[in-house]
Amino acid sequence: MSAAFAKVVPRLQKRQVSLSHRAIVTGLIFGVVAVYLAIVGILLLFHQRWIIVDTLSLGQAALIAVALCAGAATARREPGPVTPGLLLRSASAGALAGLLLAALAVAMMLLDLREIFISLSPQLLQMLSFELDPAWLGFAVLIAGAAALALLGALLLRIPASLRKALIIGFAAVGFFGIFQELIQLMMQFNDLIDAVRDAIYTWEGLTPEGAAAIFVLFAAGSAVWSRLRPATAVAHGHAGHSTGYTVRILLGILLLLLFPLLAGSYIGQVMMLVGLYTLMGMGLNLEVGLAGLLDLGFVAFFAVGAYATALLTADSPHAIAALSFWTAMPIAVLASVIVGVLFGIPVLGVRGDYLAVATMGLGEIVRVIVQSDMAAPLLAGAQGILQIPKPVLFGTELGDPVQLFYLTFVASAVAAYCAWRLENSALGRAWMAVRDDEDVAQALGINLVKVKLLAYGLGAAFAGLAGSIFAVMLTSIYPSSFQLLISINVLALIIVGGMGSLPGVVVGAIALVGLPELLREFGEYRYLFYGAALIIMMRIKPEGLWPSATRRRELRLAAGELVGDDDETGEEPEQQPAAAATQSAER
């Protein structure tokens, strides 16, 4: 008995040392994140913006989030009940993160660091010391507060999931209404009743304490009620009820999407229109990359062809070759994009992998250089661009307002989504997936690689040409500088973030990578930092995408060594392998 006890004790001690080491590493990581936010100026920028007026700034909320996450990350590594050791390690991680910030503040007091880091200003020092005198008392409060918040973060992981979800949704709602308060207040200027609600929860600087409390209670209670009702509804109605509820949620979402721009105004309509244009391009590139596996970094060339074709056919300009209406010019622009897409694909038919990405990027740059060249200037106007492109006219009404153009983009996206969905589930779609998985096997099964690849390039270009046509009438002028390589990269990024091969994923990716950065313009160039950080976090936490296709999800699970049966989330039977399906449906 004593011998067995002697063996167990060293193991327990070793485990405790390992857990303590992890807590220290976690605290250091979150402390470094907080110090980085302070050094680059984000923390001070956030501190100048109230979430709750005279109570909580966005900078203070960021520090609270860092401490809470430090404690939660420490506790997450130790499943099981709450123990004194767990609480101590969580609090230590938070205290260590606070200690690093306090050390930065002390260094700011003793050294002139502004020669190197201009953001380390006296205002930041006042923030970190909570404006207490002497300053070391504020630093002590900073460390103790970080430890207490980390302890709270650890406890949050041990409470019931429904309660934790309600609290998180409540605090997230307060943060959302506080961060986007200017935009929300502009949207609430409609009638006396909405004005009264706005005055009750807002001042012009942020949320009132009473308004923040009301928003928290409303969203937290709503989440708790929804969590209780949803399981009961699912049990009562079974699979049919689940399908009906899913359909109802989709219809409600579409209805809200259609009504929201009318209520929100022109700025939101402009942002939603940009999201729609990127969704159109994403659906086209998704055919090439997500289904056919053809990595295309020159996709912006098709977008440019659609825009220039529309401009040349409709503009009141010396460079115009016709005076057609938008509705006549748009199909011609789409056809021109398809032709260019097929011609674009011919030189790269035998290229695969990373070499294909480089080759397509080169072809896209060739198109941009030609447009800017002096040789093509008599036709395409060179760097001066094409001006005076008229707005579309529908039933005698000019679609000049961003909200009206959003509805045009929405209809175009809906039609494109239907076409893309039908293509994905057709014989051609199965052939694309077979080529994506293995070209040699697909060719051995009788799939015509030349035909399949050129169709992917041509049909993908059609979506981009349609987006370019709407883009031209949106701006009423186009320039070569509007069609940079970055557009292709952004479209590819939204497909990856949304989910490769997934049509809903394209929409979600466009909202995440196009819509949200547009709403964060007030944070200046820092929004690109958030953009990059979000991409990194996304690839670490959910590499399959925000809304992946069932096939992509299974592929990643198989790669990770997980057993895959029926799809747990959709309830669908496993799809047959693309190559096998191609033998039954693809033309030989």
Report whether 63 contacts 143 (CB < 8 A). Answer: no
**What is each CA distance from 162 to 50, 157, 215, 229, 436, in whole angstroms?**
29, 11, 18, 12, 41
* DSSP, residue by residue, 418-480: HHHHHHHTSHHHHHHHHHHH-HHHHHHTT--HHHHHHHHHHHHHHHHHHHHHHHHHHHS-B-G
Radius of gyration of the chain (CA): 28
**Tokens found for residue 425:** 């589930």
> Which secondary structure element, helix H or strand E, spans residue 527, and what is its range?
helix 526-541
Rounded Cα distance, 340 and 469, in Å: 15
**Tokens found for residue 157:** 């992981």
Rounded Cα distance, 533 and 515, in Å: 16
> Which secondary structure element, helix H or strand E, spans residue 411, and what is its range?
helix 402-424
Q: Other C-beta atoms within 10 Å of 140: how many?
A: 14
Report whether 546 contacts 409 (CB < 8 A). Answer: no
Is 429 exposed, middle or buried (CB count within 10 Å of its CB: 0-12, 13-18, 19+)?
A: buried
Name the one residue in this structure whose structure tokens are 């169709």.
Answer: 455
Pick from 93, 117, 88: nearest CA to 105: 117
Helical residues (DSSP H) of 78-134, grouped into ranges = 84-110, 122-128
**Tokens found for residue 158:** 């041990």
Rounded Cα distance, 563 and 561, in Å: 7
**Tokens found for residue 239:** 């699979």
User: Furthest-apart CA pair in the chain: how many Å?
Assistant: 98
Pick from 221, 220, 242, 224: nearest CA to 233: 242
**What is each CA distance from 107 to 101, 103, 110, 545, in whole angstroms?**
10, 6, 5, 42
* DSSP, residue by residue, 490-509: HHHHHHHHH-TT-HHHHHHH
Pick from 109, 91, 111, 110: nearest CA to 99: 91
Find how far residue 208's CA is from the centre of its chain: 30
> Which secondary structure element, helix H or strand E, spans residue 398, and what is its range?
strand 397-398
**What is each CA distance from 234 to 17, 163, 375, 439, 569, in whole angstroms?**
46, 20, 66, 43, 14
**Tokens found for residue 58:** 């966005």
DSSP secondary structure letter of residue 176: H
One pLDDT digit (tens) per residue for the chain, 588 residues: 455 444 444 554 555 568 788 899 999 999 999 999 999 888 988 898 899 998 999 999 999 999 999 999 999 888 778 888 889 999 999 999 999 999 999 999 998 888 888 889 999 999 999 888 888 999 999 999 999 999 999 999 888 888 999 999 999 999 989 988 887 887 777 656 677 888 889 988 889 999 999 999 999 999 888 877 765 544 455 444 456 666 777 788 788 888 888 877 788 888 899 999 999 999 999 999 989 989 889 999 999 999 999 999 999 888 888 889 999 999 999 999 999 999 999 998 888 888 888 999 998 888 888 888 888 888 888 888 898 899 998 888 888 888 899 999 999 999 999 999 999 889 999 999 999 988 889 999 899 999 999 999 999 999 999 999 999 999 999 998 888 888 998 899 889 888 888 888 899 889 888 888 777 776 766 777 777 777 787 778 787 888 887 776 776 667 666 544 444 444 444 444 444 444 344 443
Q: What's this model's pTM, rounded to 2 decimal places? A: 0.79
Report whether 261 contacts 272 (CB < 8 A). Answer: yes
**What is each CA distance from 462 to 235, 311, 370, in whole angstroms?**
45, 17, 21
Report whether 52 contacts 209 (CB < 8 A). Answer: yes
**Tokens found for residue 400:** 């000049």
**Tokens found for residue 465:** 């040409």
> Which secondary structure element, helix H or strand E, spans residue 337, and what is its range?
helix 326-345
Rounded Cα distance, 288 and 393, in Å: 33
Name the 3-class secondary structure at 13: helix
Report whether 345 contacts 458 (CB < 8 A). Answer: yes
Cross-strand bridge partners of residue 116? none
What pLDDT, on a 0 to 100 scale, did the predictor assign at position 287? 93
> Which secondary structure element, helix H or strand E, spans residue 233, and what is its range?
helix 209-264
Rounded Cα distance, 267 and 374, in Å: 37
Pick from 272, 304, 341: nearest CA to 469: 304
Rounded Cα distance, 156 and 169, in Å: 13
